[in-house]
Structure 1
Amino acid sequence: MSNDLLDAESAAIPSGFQPFSFTTGFARQIGPLYERAETDGTYQRAFRVQDYHCNGMGNCHGGMLTAFADVAFGHAITLSYRRYWVTVRLLTDFLSAAKLGDWVEGTGIIAGGEDDFVTVKGRIWCGDRTIMSGTGVFKVLGERP
Structure 2
Amino acid sequence: MTAQDDQIPTPPEGFIRSSGRGAFSTHNGPYFHREHPGEFTEQAFFALPRHANGIGLVHGGMLTAFMDGLLANAQYRETRKTGVTIHLSVDFLHMARVGEWVMGEARCTRATKDIAFVEGRAYVGGHDVVRATGVFKLMHKKT
Give the residue type in structure 2 aligned to 1:44. E
Q: 5+ unaligned residues in a row in structure 1: which ranges?
A: none
CA shift at 1:43, angstroms?
Answer: 2.5
More strand by share: 1
User: What CA distance in whole angstroms lies between the structure 2 residues aligned with 1:101 and 1:57?
Assistant: 13
- 1:109 matched to which residue of 2? 107
- 1:58 matched to which residue of 2? 56
TM-score, normalised on structure 2? 0.89
> CA RMSD for the aligned pairs?
1.9
- 1:29 matched to which residue of 2? 27
Do the aligned residues in 2 keep the contact of 1:107 with 1:123 (CA within 8 Å)? yes
Do the aligned residues in 1 keep the contact of 2:39 with 2:107 (CA within 8 Å)? no
Percent pairwise identity: 34
Asked if 1:85 corresponds to 2:75, the answer is no
SS in 2 for 1:83: coil
TM-score, normalised on structure 1? 0.88
Do the aligned residues in 2 keep the contact of 1:8 with 1:101 (CA within 8 Å)? no
User: What CA distance in whole angstroms lies between the structure 1 residues aligned with 2:85 and 2:38?
Assistant: 26
Aligned pair count reads: 140
User: What CA distance in whole angstroms lies between the structure 2 residues aligned with 1:22 and 1:120?
Assistant: 22
Q: 5+ unaligned residues in a row in structure 2: which ranges?
A: none
